[in-house]
């Protein structure tokens, strides 16, 4: 291939290439700022983790007591000292993360990825190296295993130290065996509660879908959900043991019922703790895989009890104990409020299509400024079907495919998706029978969410493994690569293998939703795309007479001119950062005003009441200060959109007509599947050992990105093959990098 069009240099020069001196100076300043920010965040994070690890140790007890006693005389009291020690670090890192994302701008890692000495060396990456496959955790990468080991090590270390401290208490030797056992159970219950507090502090961070922290380390929500599940099981196990230890101890002393119903003002209030624990256990039971998969609605609605769990937890422990876990909970509240504001807006459905293979395609209206990439997904609500149900779907269109629209593919698999397809078909029938009738579809959207950087663009060699409707995000990836190839944008992928397993051949028409000829007619000159399709439940191709006509049922619902709201965590970095910053400042300000004008003058000492006030300050700071930023953000976006519309109208007037745009509605669903070569095998499943082995011999010593979207069995099969080839690879073979694009709520 011509070197001028190599995979590692832009096809079009950057806008500032004509001024290398200015560009170099700017690059040095940006790199320096990023380095300082990154170093600062690492120092804060490591120091914070060290404090958490040292807290249970007996040799640090006196140090922490001195610190908390010193803060008792300050404006914020002990609560301020505890919050500053255990919650403030994660909030500071969140603010610095927003600054880092702003400084980074559109600096994408694949832009500057160059080969050294003419040939790039394959590199191991902990995040993409599967080491544990199968079992309750399914696929675990090396980096995830390190995280698991650290968390387990902390729990073991904390239990060990608390046990030593308990055994060292001299007063236990003066008790009878029964009293001693009861007292030891209560002490261990208290210590387990302390360990659970720190787990709770991390529990809510992974489910903050648009969190700047997740974007900083480039962990998308579909991956972070797994960490929330793991932490949830651990947290509830510890809290259950915490409650059980107290119950058994009180029962041995003959005062169990009395203690369970106790709600005292000074100290821990037991009854709120019982209510909180019962809500948590109910959420825990309904989130178990067997219960969740059989009755998702029960799991979904029961999980809303997290509000009861958090509120009564604050009443149970009071303000200064609650402030240990407040940082992570506050970040979740920030994200939840932004999602609430975004989901209040209804979004236009430009078109809705019922495809012959039992899949629905929805085209949603979006503003040009809404940021997402080909690996993003959205949460969708169709109010004609349900006001409560939200369902996640991968985006099936590239951000370069249309400035004002976004596409998703919905596979009909359950009652909700069946209702969606039925509505489209019924509305079409009504439209044909009545000229005055116009279909209506009221949808709301949360998102898009996903990776901060499109990692599919970081590999010259790609393998896309899909199961059924899992092809949806890969259609977006292929579209993105084709658009970038056509427009000369930075894009590394050159050799792409698509492995797609479907149950029936009717699903093959999904490939036709990508009109290659209209995107990049000359793609074969620059890209090598091979597609291997496996039809698992058909032993031979259907006869011509058996092939059903590819008729597409399409409707264009009534439009109100509403687009997807830009109020999303992955939106504008500046506004996202201001939202986090001012909400955090608002929290500090409200707590300070509360102390000065209410708590201290009126001598408020009730623990449970102060815990409730602290929680209300968290909510008020997000609603008042964060809400103000969100309102300004919306006004700013409306101003920018108006200027953009006027600018586009001026251009159209100058050229004397509309600017031609690629239309989703005009796609040809009868076109043949595209690729350099396409093979279809019937009655068989892909053998990933053979597929990766063939790629190993063909590609040489390179990095190969393997992206999987499909059921857990498919992910495990691919992960096993990757692990096998990576561990037994020869020096001239590639390193395969595992990327899962699937998640299960």
Beta pairing class for 349-354 and 735-740: unpaired
Tens of pLDDT, residue by residue over 456-487, are: 888 889 999 998 888 888 888 888 888 888 88
pTM: 0.87
Q: How confident is the model at residue 239 (pLDDT cuts 50, 70, 90)?
A: very high
What per-residue confidence (pLDDT) applies to 658? 41
Q: Which residue has the tokens 């815990």?
A: 611
With pLDDT > 90 as the criterion, what percentage of the chain qualifies?
35
Sequence-ordered alpha helix ranges (H) in 622-734: 627-655, 688-699, 712-727
**Model pLDDT, residue 113:** 52
Interacting residues of 440 by C-beta distance below 8 A, sequence separation 6+? 384, 427, 557, 558
Q: How far apart are CA 619 and CA 311, in angstroms?
A: 11
* CB of 514 closer than 8 Å to CB of 660: no
| pLDDT tens-digit readout, 483-533 | 888 887 778 888 889 999 988 888 887 877 776 666 766 776 778 888 889
Looking at the predicted structure, is the pLDDT value of residue 671 above 50? no
Residue 364 has pLDDT above 80, yes or no: yes
Q: DSSP secondary-structure letter at 678?
A: E
Q: Which residues contact 57 (CB under 8 A, 6 or more apart)?
A: 161
* 280 vs 300: CA distance, rounded Å: 14
The SS3 call for residue 680 is: strand
**In this structure, what token pair is assigned to residue 466?**
């899909």
**How far is the C-alpha of 155 from the C-alpha of 149, rounded, in Å?**
10
Residue 437 binned pLDDT confidence (cut-offs 50, 70, 90): low
What are the distances in angstroms from CA 529 to CA 526, 676, 677?
Answer: 10, 5, 7
Residue-by-residue DSSP string for 76-125: THHHHHHHHHHTHHHHHHHHHHHHHHHHHTT--TTTT---STTSPPP---
Tell me what pLDDT residue 665 has: 37
pLDDT tens for each residue of 583-622:
999 999 999 999 999 998 998 999 999 999 999 999 999 9
Share of the chain above pLDDT 70, in %: 86
Q: What is the pLDDT of residue 659?
A: 36
Please indicate whether residue 175 or residue 314 has the higher confidence score (pLDDT).
Answer: 314
pLDDT band at 566 (very low <50, low <70, confident <90, very high): confident
Q: Is the pLDDT of residue 170 over 80?
A: no
Residue 570 has pLDDT above 70, yes or no: no
- The answer to which of 192-206, 239-253, 347-361, 431-445 has the lowest mean pLDDT is 431-445
- What does the pLDDT read at residue 270? 95
Mean pLDDT of 27-31: 84
Q: For the residues 291-300, what does the mean pLDDT come to? A: 83
Predicted confidence at residue 261, as pLDDT, reads 94
pLDDT in tens, 715-725: 999 999 999 99
From its phi and psi, is residue 656 left (phi > 0), alpha (psi between -120 and 50) or beta? left
C-alpha–C-alpha distance, residues 36 and 46, integer Å: 15
Lowest average pLDDT, out of 193-202, 263-272, 359-368, 570-579, goes to 570-579
What tokens does 300 get?
């979904």
Residue 650 has pLDDT above 60, yes or no: no
The rounded distance, in Å, linking the Cα atoms of 692 and 686 is 11
Average pLDDT, integer, range 107-117: 49
Whether the predicted pLDDT of 644 surpasses 70:
no
Residue spans in the chain of domains classed CATH 2.40.30.10: 346-541+551-555
Tokens representing residue 431 in the block: 């439209």
In sequence order, the β-bridge partners of residue 706 are: 463, 738
Does residue 666 surpass a pLDDT of 90? no
pLDDT at position 664 is: 38
> Looking at per-residue confidence, does 695 or 434 come out higher?
695
Task: Determine contact, residues 706/737, Cβ cutoff 8 Å.
Answer: yes
Across the range 235-259, mean pLDDT stands at 94
The pLDDT of residue 464? 93
Residues 379-393: pLDDT tens digits?
A: 898 888 888 888 888
Mean pLDDT for the stretch of residues 693-715:
87
Highest mean pLDDT among 304-308, 491-495, 697-701: 304-308
CATH architecture of 346-541+551-555: Beta Barrel (2.40)
Both structure tokens of 353: 């299509």
How many CB atoms are located within 10 Å of the residue 655 CB?
8
The per-residue pLDDT of the chain, averaged, comes to: 83
Whether residue 642 is predicted with pLDDT greater than 90 in this model: the reply is no
Confidence of residue 6 (pLDDT cuts 50, 70, 90): very low
Segment 262-276 shows an average pLDDT of: 94
CA geometry: angle 390, 393, 395, nearest 5 deg? 140
Q: How far apart are CA 560 and CA 347, in angstroms?
A: 8
**Is the model's pLDDT at 339 over the cut of 70?**
yes
């Amino acid at each position: 291939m011509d070197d001028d069009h190599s995979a590692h240099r832009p096809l079009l020069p950057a806008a500032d290439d004509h001024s290398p001196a200015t560009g170099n100076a700017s690059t040095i300043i940006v790199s320096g700022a990023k380095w300082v920010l990154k170093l600062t965040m690492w120092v804060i994070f490591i120091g914070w983790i060290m404090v958490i690890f040292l807290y249970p140790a007996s040799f640090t007890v006196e140090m922490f007591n001195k610190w908390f006693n010193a803060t008792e005389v300050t404006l914020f009291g002990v609560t301020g000292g505890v919050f500053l020690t255990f919650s403030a670090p994660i909030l500071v890192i969140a603010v610095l993360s927003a600054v880092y994302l702003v400084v980074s701008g559109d600096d994408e890692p694949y832009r500057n990825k160059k080969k050294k000495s003419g040939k790039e060396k394959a590199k191991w990456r902990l995040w993409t190296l599967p080491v544990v496959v199968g079992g309750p955790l399914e696929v675990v990468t090396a980096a995830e295993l390190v995280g698991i080991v650290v968390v387990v090590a902390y729990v073991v270390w904390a239990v060990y130290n608390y046990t030593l401290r308990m055994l060292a208490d001299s007063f236990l030797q003066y008790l009878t065996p029964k009293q001693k056992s009861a007292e030891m159970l209560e002490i261990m219950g208290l210590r387990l509660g302390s360990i659970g507090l720190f787990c709770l502090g991390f529990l809510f961070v992974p489910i903050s879908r648009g969190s700047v922290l997740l974007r900083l380390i480039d962990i998308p929500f579909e991956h972070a959900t797994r960490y929330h599940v793991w932490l949830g099981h651990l947290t509830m196990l510890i809290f259950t043991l915490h409650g059980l230890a107290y119950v058994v101890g009180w029962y041995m002393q003959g005062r169990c019922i009395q203690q369970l119903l106790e709600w005292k003002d000074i100290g821990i209030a037991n009854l709120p703790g019982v209510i909180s624990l019962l809500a948590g256990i109910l959420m825990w039971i309904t989130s178990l895989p067997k219960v969740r998969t059989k009755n998702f609605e029960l799991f979904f609605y029961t999980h809303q009890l997290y509000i009861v769990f958090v509120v009564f937890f604050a009443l149970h422990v009071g303000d200064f104990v609650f402030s240990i876990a407040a940082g992570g909970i506050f970040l979740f509240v920030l994200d939840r409020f932004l999602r609430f504001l975004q989901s209040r807006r209804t979004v236009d459905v430009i078109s809705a299509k019922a495809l012959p293979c039992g899949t629905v395609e929805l085209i949603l209206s979006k503003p040009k400024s809404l940021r997402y990439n080909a690996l993003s997904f959205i949460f969708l609500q169709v109010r004609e079907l349900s006001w409560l149900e939200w369902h996640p779907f991968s985006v099936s269109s590239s951000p370069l495919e249309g400035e004002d629209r976004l596409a998703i593919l919905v596979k009909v698999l359950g009652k909700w998706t069946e209702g969606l397809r039925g509505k489209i078909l019924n509305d079409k029938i009504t439209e044909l029978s009545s000229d005055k009738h116009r279909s209506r579809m009221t949808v709301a959207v949360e998102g898009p969410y996903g990776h901060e950087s499109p990692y599919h663009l970081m590999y010259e060699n790609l393998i896309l493994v899909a199961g059924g409707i899992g092809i949806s995000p890969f259609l977006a990836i292929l579209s993105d690569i084709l658009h970038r190839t056509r427009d000369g944008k930075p894009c590394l992928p050159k050799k792409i293998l698509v492995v797609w397993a479907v149950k029936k051949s009717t699903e093959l028409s999904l490939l036709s939703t990508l009109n290659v000829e209209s995107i990049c007619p000359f793609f074969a000159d620059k890209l090598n795309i091979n597609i291997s399709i496996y039809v698992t439940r058909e032993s031979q191709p259907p006869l011509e007479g058996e092939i059903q006509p590819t008729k597409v049922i399409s409707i264009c619902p009534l439009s109100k001119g509403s687009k997807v709201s830009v109020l999303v965590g992955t939106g504008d970095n500046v506004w996202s950062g201001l939202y986090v910053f001012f909400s955090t400042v608002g929290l500090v300000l409200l707590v300070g005003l509360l102390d000065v004008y209410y708590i201290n003058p009126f001598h408020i000492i009730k623990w449970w009441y102060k815990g409730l006030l602290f929680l209300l300050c968290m909510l008020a700071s997000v609603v008042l200060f964060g809400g103000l930023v969100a309102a300004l953000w919306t006004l700013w976006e409306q101003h920018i959109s108006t200027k953009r519309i006027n600018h586009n109208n001026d251009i159209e007037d100058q050229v004397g007509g509309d600017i031609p745009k690629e239309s989703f509605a005009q796609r040809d669903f009868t076109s043949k599947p595209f690729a350099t070569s396409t093979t279809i095998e019937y009655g068989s499943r892909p053998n990933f050992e053979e597929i990766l082995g063939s790629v190993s011999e063909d590609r040489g010593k390179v990095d190969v990105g393997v992206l999987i979207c499909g059921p857990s069995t498919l992910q495990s099969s691919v992960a096993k093959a990757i692990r096998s080839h990576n561990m037994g690879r020869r020096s001239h073979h590639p390193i395969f990098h595992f990327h899962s694009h699937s998640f299960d709520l």
